[in-house]
Amino acid sequence: MAESLSHLRHPVVVMAFEGWNDASDAATNVVDHLGLTYEADVIFEIDGEDYYDFQMNRPRVSGTGEERREIEWPCVQIAVAELPERDVVLVSGPEPNLRWRSFSAALVSALRSVRPELVVVLGAMLTDSPHSRPLPVSGTSNDPELAAKLGLEPSNYEGPTGIVGVVAEAALAAGMPVVSLWAQVPHYVSDPPNPKATLALLVRIEDLLEAPLELGDLPELAQAWERGVNELASEDPDIAEYISRLEAAQDEEDLPAATGDSIAAEFQRYLRRRDQGN
């Protein structure tokens, strides 16, 4: 496994975990999208025997197509996706139930041979963001030099954390540059999937990598999702009024962002996609 991860091109790690950190499955769907789009190869699995309560994260039974059935046990997979200019190490699986410190140590140990240029930890949380506006993605880093370089804020969050916070701290302690990206998912439409939130996270990863990513049908799925929520909201006057209040509040808060940095970032994305198409 170490040999498979030791000769990667400008490697970046992108990780997400199912569960508390992953509202509407928005974060793990980013990893799934990258894995499918770039045909990632699974290099290694962290055995879940020591880290999962199988009554909470139950194994699944599936057919093999030959009248045989197979049990799939919860685990964390490490895969490698080959992008045109770099390799991306994808980490995903259910949030462990047990021994978080040991799990984080095992995962960071597996990533040491990667020597990543950047570790991107993804999450998604339920907020009062309206579905009809761009879904915010907050980016933070506890590495002051990295935060200044990428224009990120240091994290000032205090309160309960999930496995993404514990792994991020362990990776930072091991000398790896770490960025956390969190999508804000409308709490009133929290059932998965949420392609709009997944797309928002993917675009922010593009910004960090300064390279275009294949978005596939995510833009169309995001538009269809928004239209579906609009139709549902139109059938309930109370919900429609509530959403209107959220829209007004966010529009007022985001008005200064319509200039300056946001326009520059959008222009950079346009240039990257134009260059990719040539």
Bridge partners for 119 per DSSP: 13, 178
Cβ contacts of residue 205 below 8 Å, gap of 6+?
Answer: 14, 30, 120, 181, 213
CB 118 within 8 A of CB 42: no
CA angle 16, 21, 230 (to 5 degrees): 100
Instruction: Supply the DSSP string of the chain, one letter for each residue.
Output: -HHHHSS-SS-EEEEEEESTTBGGGHHHHHHHHHHHHTTPEEEEEEEGGGT--TTTS--EEEE-SSS-EEEEPPEEEEEEEE-SS-EEEEEEEEPPSS-HHHHHHHHHHHHHTT--SEEEEEEEEEES--TTSPPPEEEE-S-HHHHHHHTPBPP---S---HHHHHHHHHHHTT--EEEEEEEEEGGG-SSP-HHHHHHHHHHHHHHHTS----TTHHHHHHHHHHHHHHHHHT-HHHHHHHHHHHHHHHHHHGGGGSTHHHHHHHHHHHHHHHHH-
Question: Would you state the pLDDT for residue 70?
Answer: 86
Question: Nearest-CA neighbor of 92 among 102, 73, 79?
Answer: 79
Quick one: pLDDT at residue 231?
95
CATH numbers and ranges of domains, the chain: 2-277 (3.40.50.10900)
Q: How confident is the model at residue 147 (pLDDT cuts 50, 70, 90)?
A: confident
Q: Tell me the two tokens of residue 59.
A: 């194994």
Separation CA 34–CA 13 (nearest Å): 12
- Arithmetic mean of pLDDT, 143-157: 80
* pLDDT average, residue stretch 197-206: 97
81-140 pLDDT tens trace: 999 999 999 999 999 999 999 999 999 999 999 999 999 999 999 999 999 999 999 999
Q: What is the pLDDT of residue 90?
A: 98
The pLDDT value given to residue 119: 97
| pLDDT tens digits for range 33-47 | 999 999 999 999 999
| Residue 107 and residue 13 in contact, taking contact as beta carbons nearer than 8 Å | no
Residue 203 backbone zone (phi > 0: left; psi -120 to 50: alpha; other: beta) = alpha
Residue 177's alpha-carbon distances to 117, 118, 173, in angstroms, are: 7, 5, 9
Q: Taking 60 as the threshold, does the pLDDT of residue 258 lie above it?
A: no
Q: Note the pLDDT tens digit of each residue in 46-57.
A: 999 999 999 999
Least confident segment among 86-95, 232-241, 245-254: 245-254
